Amino acid sequence: MEFSIRAANVEDCRDIARMIRELAEYEKVADHVKVTQRDLEQDGFSKNPFFHGIVAEVPEQHRTKEGHTKIGYALYFYSYSSWTGRAIYMEDLYVMPEFRGKGIGKALMSKVAQLGLAAGCNQLNFTVLDWNKSSLDFYLSQGCFDVTEKMGYHCIRCEGEALEHLAQP
């Protein structure tokens, strides 16, 4: 299957927002999505962006029945490990279901890894749901390892009222 990977631009935000909703539906958490197209435009394409993105596109002749040519994406940002230095965090990796198994997800992940290495990063971090065995198996086959299993770390979050409360002096 012919496809290309390129840096996302502000005009892609509509399609990225669509695919974020699709990913959330796949992960059975559609009600958790609060980010809008406008948020993506502001947060990813301002002077100091909070994230970066890449998109996978197919030629017009392979577009979906809904007319989409943007069929996958990855969002990432740079972070820092106090032990090992520069790192890159892949927030999302998504390929529309009818385009899976064609190397597009691998190409997106590979591009994020390339961008990280080019920026001097020495690790790529991301999360995967425990029930998503096919994705977990794929990541493990690429040489990744389960940090929770190997090192015992858990991913912890504080949000909403708890975050507001925590921020109080």
139 is catalytic: yes
User: φ and ψ at 87, to 5 degrees?
Assistant: -145, 165
Domain span at residue 44 reads 4-126
Q: Are the CB atoms for 108 and 5 separated by under 8 Å?
A: yes
Model confidence pLDDT, tens digit, residues 10-55: 999 999 999 999 999 999 999 999 999 999 999 999 999 999 999 9
Residue 17 lies inside a defined structural domain of this protein: yes
Which residue among the candidates 73, 76, 89, 139 is catalytic per the annotation? 139
Residue 147 lies in a domain: no
The answer to whether position 79 is within a domain reads: yes
- In one letter, which amino acid is 160? G
71-123 pLDDT, tens digit per residue, is: 999 999 999 999 999 999 999 999 999 999 999 999 999 999 999 999 999 99
pTM of the entire predicted model: 0.94
User: Is there a contact between 90 and 127 (Cβ–Cβ < 8 Å)?
Assistant: no
- Reduced to 3 states (helix: H, G, I; strand: E, B; else coil), residue 83 is coil
Residue 100: CATH number of its domain: 3.40.630.30
∠ CA 19-21-23, nearest 5°, is: 70
Does residue 60 sit within a domain? yes
Does residue 61 fall inside a structural domain?
yes
> Kindly report the CA angle at 147 between 53 and 83, in degrees rounded to 5?
80
